[in-house]
Amino acid sequence: MNPLFSTSSLMILESLSFTQTLYAFDFDGTLSRIVRMPGEAKVSSKTDDLLKELAGLVPVAVVSGRSIHDLRERLSFQPPYLVGNHGLEGLDATNDALASAKSACDKWKKALNGVRFDTGVEIEDKVYSLSVHYRRSRKKKKSREFIEQVIAQLQPAPRVIRGKSVFNLLPAGAPHKGIAVLELMQKIGMKHVFYIGDDDTDEDVFSVADSRVMSVRVGKKKSSHARYFIKRQSEVNVLLKKLIRYQRSLNSEKRN
């Protein structure tokens, strides 16, 4: 992994503004800080302002495991592209695919509601996917192992994407973020995509072997497939400012 804020990496980042690039951002841990309760996640007003400004200059997407409805309530403006439920929402999923995802979730929810989990384990219903959070559990390891056992019994068998203290349950054929990001790039006619995320679910984007993707991880991690990293979530504002500056100087060059 290379630091994004180095001279050579920044040259590559700036060069993206010369081509048609989609700028895609994960939500939790990237645009917002990680919080104990998923319902409390917020984007700071500074980040919100900067993202809004960037969205006025280039195509911007927020790509998250959250539902689109949930994402909308957490931003002061509507980004042009919102992709929810790891790619099930906001792209071209058919009504049939969405209905079958919803019905699988209903079955899982029913089964999980009958299980006695440790205190601190919470089930989040995102309509087309479910998340089982154990961030607040006191015995995290025990909770994680127990949740794993329970999930293995679910019918229909879900696709499980693990994240930070969370198991995300999706219908078997559902896309992941890597598929979603490439699909969106193509759909809107972009030639490159910049993607930044912080979690295991983002590795699906980082591992896409495609030279059109510039991937950045929030937090350095040896085993990550992301090419670049920033050190911490608070540096996202620095990144947004740079992207805005690149685009503005390019636009003023074009005018002169």
Which among 23-31, 39-47, 105-113, 206-214 is the span making contact with Mg ion, rule CB under 5 A? 23-31
Cβ nearer to Mg ion, comparing 29 with 87: 29
Figure out which of the listed residues 1, 17, 28, 190 binds Mg ion, where binding follows CB under 5 A. Answer: 28
Cβ nearer to Mg ion, comparing 89 with 199: 199
Nearest distance from residue 106's CB to Mg ion, in Å? 26
Cβ nearer to Mg ion, comparing 26 with 70: 26
Alpha-carbon gap, residue 175 to 180, rounded angstroms: 6
Cβ burial, residue 215 (10 Å; 0-12/13-18/19+): buried
- Tell me if 225 sits within 8 A of 215, measured CB to CB: yes
Residues 189 to 208 in contact with Mg ion, rule: CB under 5 A = 198-199
Residues 102 to 141 in contact with Mg ion, rule: CB under 5 A = none
Give Cβ neighbours of residue 91 (< 8 Å, ≥ 6 apart).
Answer: 83, 175, 180, 183, 184, 187
Nearest distance from residue 207's CB to Mg ion, in Å? 16
Nearest distance from residue 246's CB to Mg ion, in Å? 24
Nearest distance from residue 113's CB to Mg ion, in Å? 26
Q: How big is the site for Mg ion, counted in residues (CB under 5 A)?
A: 5
Nearest distance from residue 31's CB to Mg ion, in Å? 9
Cβ nearer to Mg ion, comparing 80 with 163: 163
Residue 202 CA to its chain's centroid (Å): 6
Figure out which of the listed residues 17, 21, 25, 26 binds Mg ion, where binding follows CB under 5 A. Answer: 26
* 29 binds Mg ion, rule: CB under 5 A: yes
Which among 25-33, 38-46, 142-150, 244-252 is the span making contact with Mg ion, rule CB under 5 A? 25-33
Nearest distance from residue 16's CB to Mg ion, in Å? 21
Cβ nearer to Mg ion, comparing 28 with 70: 28
Residues 212 to 251 in contact with Mg ion, rule: CB under 5 A = none
Q: Which residues bind Mg ion (CB under 5 A)?
A: 26, 28-29, 198-199
